[in-house]
Amino acid sequence: MFQQVVKCRSFFSWKLQQFQAQGLQSSLCVFRCFSSNSLPSTDTIERARFSSPTISLLGRTFDVDSSTNITPRVASKIGRCLHRRSGHPVFHVWRRIENYFSSAFVTRVGHARFVTFDNLNPVVTPHQNFDSLLVPADHISRSLYDTYYVNSEHLLRSHMTAHDEELIRSGFDAFLLVGDVFRRDEIDASHYPVFHQVDGVCLFTENEVRNVCMCEWMM
């Protein structure tokens, strides 16, 4: 392993000189070098630092078990909620989406049809994240390689649809969800373990569906 690290760093130094000679940024070289499969991943290194038998997330304490694969770095991202920080680019994107739905879809009395939820707890159960969405028991997304597990009974949601069932059961038939979601992706130009997702749900009665189909047929 030591020889591999030395080789990687030697390659990095040589490649860095090339990039600088060409007037290019060196960050790309740094990333490509240290994302090599020959080196231990950041997840593997940081997981060893969780020596405590419990983990505290958003004011709640969870027991660590054999399924725990959340890292301190990912745990530090929980609760940042950039979509709620005024002035942040993600905040502006979310506001544009919310404003569109609020103005385009209204009830007969002029109220917004879609209820919005932007502060739902990202720690959910396997039932919420998988079972409620009919994800097969052997699906790869359930594995420790794809999902961040707090323990065998709790995990970090990998999509906002993890909250759909509970909201529908609570009586909501049209809603928008926005929040941080977490997936064990390798970091590259288009992937990061934490990102934002918007989910929209609207339930229709049989008559509403029939009317929509009739209108489309007439057009």
Cα–Cα dist 151/66, whole Å: 7
> What's the rounded mean pLDDT across residues 39-47?
45
The whole-angstrom distance between residue 172's C-alpha and the CA centroid of its chain comes to: 23
For the domain that residue 209 is a member of, what is the CATH number? 3.30.930.10
Residue 139 domain boundaries: 67-218
Indicate the pLDDT class of residue 50, thresholds 50, 70 and 90: low
- 27-40 pLDDT, tens per residue? 333 333 333 333 34
The verdict on residue 137 lying in a domain is yes
Place of tokens 């991943």: 41
The verdict on residue 37 lying in a domain is no
The verdict on residue 45 lying in a domain is no
The verdict on residue 15 lying in a domain is no
Domain count, the chain: 1
The verdict on residue 39 lying in a domain is no
The verdict on residue 10 lying in a domain is no
The verdict on residue 62 lying in a domain is no
> What's the rounded mean pLDDT across residues 75-82?
92
Residue 190: predicted pLDDT: 84
Place of tokens 């030697």: 10
The verdict on residue 164 lying in a domain is yes
Cα–Cα dist 188/41, whole Å: 13
